[in-house]
């Protein structure tokens, strides 16, 4: 009597290899540049003012600068998403083209959010869960429309979606994510806009940044949001900001219908 033997597959399925090999190195493609060799449109140096105290710590020019890659990190419920959406709402009101990419909330959750904070309703939003199986094509298509500012909630969600959709590594997903932002920071989109990015990321229980060192080092500004102990207030400040040479922070409260930025405090 024949016996049917079934081979058991153990572990996770193998990751697909890249379809094409990396191009051979061409020494003639390497270019060394001086600052005097570089040239960009003057709009790169026009700050996008939010008309709040927050302007003073976003840049020395007062406002969010074009082509800035910022990370806003903090614990759950610290106010990261609320601050990012409030910035986009104010910039949209000032006729800037802004986009909020939600990898965590769906349409119902966002609708409830907007009922509480009516100013958020004016911000264009992409609900990325609806396109998780084609996240690469979706983001590349949308980014190419050209935006002044794009906020992404969150870095971790985008990277996880990419890994799941294309069965690849975290390093490969992160590399694609950073390269995509680099392309659009330089104005390589249909609208020729130097896009600024606000990337939202959580911290670990010990308060450490949850992303890789590569992500941390390639960002232009690292913003931290935290609750103030025994208070309903929160504090926002930067541990790194290439556009601002001050070490000031902002305290704020999340009110019933708006974010209330109160004052600037000087760090010791």
> Looking at residue 254, which CATH number applies to its domain?
3.40.50.300
Nearest to 199 by CA among 143, 151, 240: 151
- Residue 80: which H helix or E strand, with range? helix 80-93
Q: Which pTM value belongs to this model?
A: 0.87
Percent of the chain predicted with pLDDT > 70: 87
Percent of the chain predicted with pLDDT > 90: 69
Q: Is residue 18 part of a domain?
A: no
Q: Is residue 107 part of a domain?
A: yes
pLDDT band at 1 (very low <50, low <70, confident <90, very high): very low
Sign of CA dihedral 219, 195, 57, 116: negative
Domain that holds residue 96: 65-266
pLDDT band at 97 (very low <50, low <70, confident <90, very high): very high
Q: Is residue 88 part of a domain?
A: yes
Q: Is residue 39 part of a domain?
A: no
40-81 pLDDT, tens digit per residue, is 889 999 999 987 888 989 999 999 999 999 999 998 889 999
Q: Is 9 buried (19+), middle (13-18) or exposed (0-12) by CB count in 10 A? A: exposed
153-181 pLDDT, tens digit per residue, is 989 999 999 999 999 999 999 999 999 99
Q: Structurally, how many domains does the chain consist of?
A: 1
Q: Is residue 101 part of a domain?
A: yes
27-38 pLDDT, tens digit per residue, is 999 999 999 999
């Amino acid at each position: 009597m024949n016996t049917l033997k079934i081979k058991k597959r153990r572990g996770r399925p193998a990751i697909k290899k890249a379809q094409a090999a990396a191009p051979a190195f061409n020494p003639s493609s390497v270019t060394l540049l001086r600052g005097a060799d570089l040239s960009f449109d003057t709009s790169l140096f026009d700050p996008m003012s939010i008309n709040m105290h927050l302007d003073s710590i976003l840049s020395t020019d007062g406002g969010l600068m074009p082509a800035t890659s910022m990370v806003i990190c903090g614990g759950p419920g610290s106010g990261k998403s609320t601050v990012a959406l409030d910035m986009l709402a104010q910039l949209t009101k000032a006729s800037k083209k802004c986009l909020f990419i939600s990898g965590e909330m769906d349409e119902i959750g966002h609708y409830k959010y907007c009922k509480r904070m009516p100013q958020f309703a004016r911000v264009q939003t992409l609900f990325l869960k609806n396109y998780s199986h084609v996240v690469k094509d979706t983001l590349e298509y949308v980014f190419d429309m050209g935006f002044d500012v794009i906020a992404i909630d969150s870095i971790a969600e985008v990277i996880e979606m990419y890994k799941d959709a294309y069965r690849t590594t975290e390093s490969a997903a992160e590399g694609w994510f950073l390269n995509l932002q680099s392309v659009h920071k330089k104005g390589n989109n249909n609208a020729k806009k130097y896009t600024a990015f606000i990337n939202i990321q959580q911290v670990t229980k010990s308060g450490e940044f949850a992303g890789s060192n590569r992500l941390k080092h390639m960002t232009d500004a690292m913003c931290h949001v935290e609750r103030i102990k025994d208070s309903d207030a929160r504090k926002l400040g930067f541990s790194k900001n290439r556009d601002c040479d001050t070490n000031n922070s902002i305290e704020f409260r999340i009110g019933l219908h708006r974010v209330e930025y109160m004052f600037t405090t000087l760090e010791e």
